[in-house]
Structure 1
């Protein structure tokens, strides 16, 4: 089987817990935001993998296969100086981690087996925020989440908002922080609270 090409990107985002009846605020006028697009719905199902003793989680690394949405495929998320580095491989027909994915993780897991540890089903409504020139600054997502802990059998349901910077975001770190801070202020006015969990996986596993 030929090697599957992968690509990577830096993921800079913030997560917020919200109540079931919360409503998105208007963000036009916040920083450089000039256009708030119409929401687009995605049905996402992600299965997360780790070793039996959660070696990846101990190294702040996550492996998942996601079906649905614009970035379906195999994803590895790793720590980065700012945000996280997310690596993508193409979707496969089954839920067996591809050899290229295992090879990338070998320095962390050696020859240990990778097993499913959680499944996250997410109904996502996403809105793109653009500046006056039409560049994509950020994506605001409204997630209705159901998780299954495949280790314990427990389930959870919650709602959260995420703000992720896109390619048109400011090129200076302090300006990126300023944009995120300004959006956060508007979201908190609408009832959002900074999430107590850094990721859906962490929450699903109760870490």
Structure 2
């Protein structure tokens, strides 16, 4: 079954020693936590010339965590439209339903794995007084592994840490309020659109 949602989030860069601040006092938030830890692995698929990444589209197969499956993310204004399919819809080859949604960018070109991201994710839920989840704050430590390319580009490994604040049932002003607390603690608003764009930045520049 295909599942769709609108992803509204903000990203922040942090140093390895960053200490997350308490978020229970953010206006509208009654409670935060406890933290939950997930070990995630995501294999991203694209064409050899990275057509999807250049079009701000991501296609991945993720294992681990509560949203394991195939994910296609498409631009939707300031947000992103996210389409999910279960893991059993494919392993090495992306599901046809998702490829069809990106057909305008692919123009018939084949796709395959271009990078693997392994993430240790620590998630804290922000809830209101009724227990409703308003947003999730994910503290991600990421390692990206890029295989060698057919054109001779050497394999590459890079690591970084970032935070994501994603709305669940909350409103957009909550993102700004949480962001202010994180910035005051030393986080920096991230200019990048996605982990994939950062992982592939050198290759996108070389092939652009």
* TM-score (structure 2 length as normaliser): 0.89
Answer yes or no: is the 8 Å Cα contact 2:61–2:91 preserved in 1: no
| Equivalent-residue separation in structure 1 for 2:80 and 2:101 (angstroms) | 16
Answer yes or no: is the 8 Å Cα contact 1:36–1:127 preserved in 2: yes
Answer yes or no: is the 8 Å Cα contact 1:65–1:95 preserved in 2: no
Q: Give the C-alpha shift of residue 111 in structure 1.
A: 2.0
Instruction: Report the RMSD for the aligned CA atoms in angstroms.
Output: 1.3
* TM-score (structure 1 length as normaliser): 0.90
Structure-2 residue corresponding to 1:74: 70
Following TM superposition, the consecutive aligned residue runs of length 4 or more in structure 1 with deviations greater than 6 angstroms are: none
- DSSP-derived class of the 2:28 partner: coil
Structure-2 residue corresponding to 1:86: 82
2:117 counterpart (99, 120, 145): 120
1:1-207 mapped onto 2 (5 Å cutoff): 5-92=1-88, 94-150=91-147, 151=149, 152=153, 153-166=155-168, 168-170=169-171, 176=172, 178-206=173-201, 207=204
Give the unaligned 5+ runs of structure 1.
171-175
- DSSP-derived class of the 2:161 partner: strand
| Equivalent-residue separation in structure 1 for 2:102 and 2:93 (angstroms) | 14
Name the count of aligned residue pairs: 196
Answer yes or no: is the 8 Å Cα contact 1:141–1:162 preserved in 2: yes
Q: Give the C-alpha shift of residue 116 in structure 1.
A: 1.0
Moved more, 56-65 or 90-99: 90-99
